Amino acid sequence: MNQDIIISTEDRVTTLTISRTDKKNAITQSMYAAMADAIIDYGSDENARAFVITGDGDMFTAGNDLQDFSTGGGSKDEIPPVSRFLYAVRDCPKTVLAAVNGPAIGVGLTMLLHCDLVYAGRSATFNAPFVKLGLVPEAASSLLLPAAVGMAVANDILLAGRTLDAEEALRFGLIARIYPDAELQQAVHQIALHIAGSAPNALKQSKLLIRNQREKIADQMHAEAKLFVAQLNSPDFAESVAAMMEKRTPVYG
């Protein structure tokens, strides 16, 4: 188990806390691996009934670790841990909740599109800076975000880099409810307990009916992944990251 991923279970509710606060909960390949394992375990554990993803401190996650992006994360696995995690959330047969306790950046936003119940604290924000980094959307967000919030707002987020606050995210349908920051975790735990006490097969079958675009989503993720890897090796990405590190405006060829 990775020390930056905390898994706790109480009353059949499993909570996964992304806990790397000194790096704004940015997610490394080894953290993705632990997150994938936890979700897969949850999906196959008869006793586990609800799964909550949240962040430690005042941040949900700053997204993929930028260092890992640049170095490839050191993973020699055939399927990189980030993909294994995204497939695991996408394919989880049981209810997954998210308690967004602060900024959700990059994969912090895109993973939410695969969660079934998404709640946020008042100070949560939502941003997908893929183009800013010289990259393209991932996790089928190029399909699921327009479906969730409409094409105009999705383009504002994915192409123009707009950051939504919690009120906007609620209004656009990205999240279901907002709670005061101090009440978020307890409120989501209560909802998770309610899910844990609901008929398990009815929940599973309902989820299958709601998430009925599985093939289309898988195809979109595949298409995105090919372009994402190509962009990671592009001058646009190198310049974007260099400019971010040097706190200057990027200059593209």
Residue 1, both tokens: 């188990």
- Single-letter amino acid, residue 25: N
**Angle of helix 29-44 versus helix 81-91 axis, rounded to 10:** 30
Binding segment toward ligand COA, per CB under 6 A, in 111-119, 128-136, 200-208, 213-221: 128-136
The answer to whether 66 contacts ligand COA (rule: CB under 6 A) is yes
Residue 65, both tokens: 């670790």
Helices (H) and strands (E) in the chain, counts: 11, 9
- Cα–Cα distance measured from residue 179 to residue 123, given in angstroms and rounded to the nearest whole number: 9
Binding segment toward ligand COA, per CB under 6 A, in 64-72, 160-168, 192-200, 231-239: 64-72
The answer to whether 129 contacts ligand COA (rule: CB under 6 A) is yes
* In the complex, minimum distance from the CB of residue 83 to ligand COA, in angstroms, rounded to a whole number: 15
Binding segment toward ligand COA, per CB under 6 A, in 2-10, 63-71, 141-149, 173-181: 63-71
The answer to whether 63 contacts ligand COA (rule: CB under 6 A) is yes
The answer to whether 105 contacts ligand COA (rule: CB under 6 A) is yes
* In the complex, minimum distance from the CB of residue 220 to ligand COA, in angstroms, rounded to a whole number: 18
Pick 55 or 63: Cβ nearer ligand COA: 63
Q: What is the DSSP letter of 14?
A: E
Binding segment toward ligand COA, per CB under 6 A, in 59-67, 72-80, 147-155, 228-236: 59-67
- Considering only 9, 67, 190, 234, the residue that binds ligand COA (CB under 6 A) is 67
- Cα–Cα distance measured from residue 39 to residue 21, given in angstroms and rounded to the nearest whole number: 22
The answer to whether 133 contacts ligand COA (rule: CB under 6 A) is yes
The answer to whether 65 contacts ligand COA (rule: CB under 6 A) is yes
- Cα–Cα distance measured from residue 143 to residue 237, given in angstroms and rounded to the nearest whole number: 23
- Single-letter amino acid, residue 220: Q
The answer to whether 175 touches 165, Cβ cutoff 8 Å, is no
Q: Torsions phi, psi of 6, nearest 5?
A: -105, 125
- Considering only 33, 62, 113, 154, the residue that binds ligand COA (CB under 6 A) is 62
- Considering only 5, 13, 16, 26, the residue that binds ligand COA (CB under 6 A) is 26
The answer to whether 64 contacts ligand COA (rule: CB under 6 A) is yes
Pick 50 or 113: Cβ nearer ligand COA: 113
Question: What is the separation, in whole angstroms, between the first and last Cα of the chain?
Answer: 43
Binding segment toward ligand COA, per CB under 6 A, in 57-65, 80-88, 143-151, 221-229: 57-65
Alpha helices per DSSP H over 27-149:
29-44, 66-71, 81-91, 107-110, 141-149
- Cα–Cα distance measured from residue 208 to residue 56, given in angstroms and rounded to the nearest whole number: 30
Q: Which residues lie near ligand COA (CB under 6 A)?
A: 23-24, 26, 62-67, 105-106, 129-130, 133
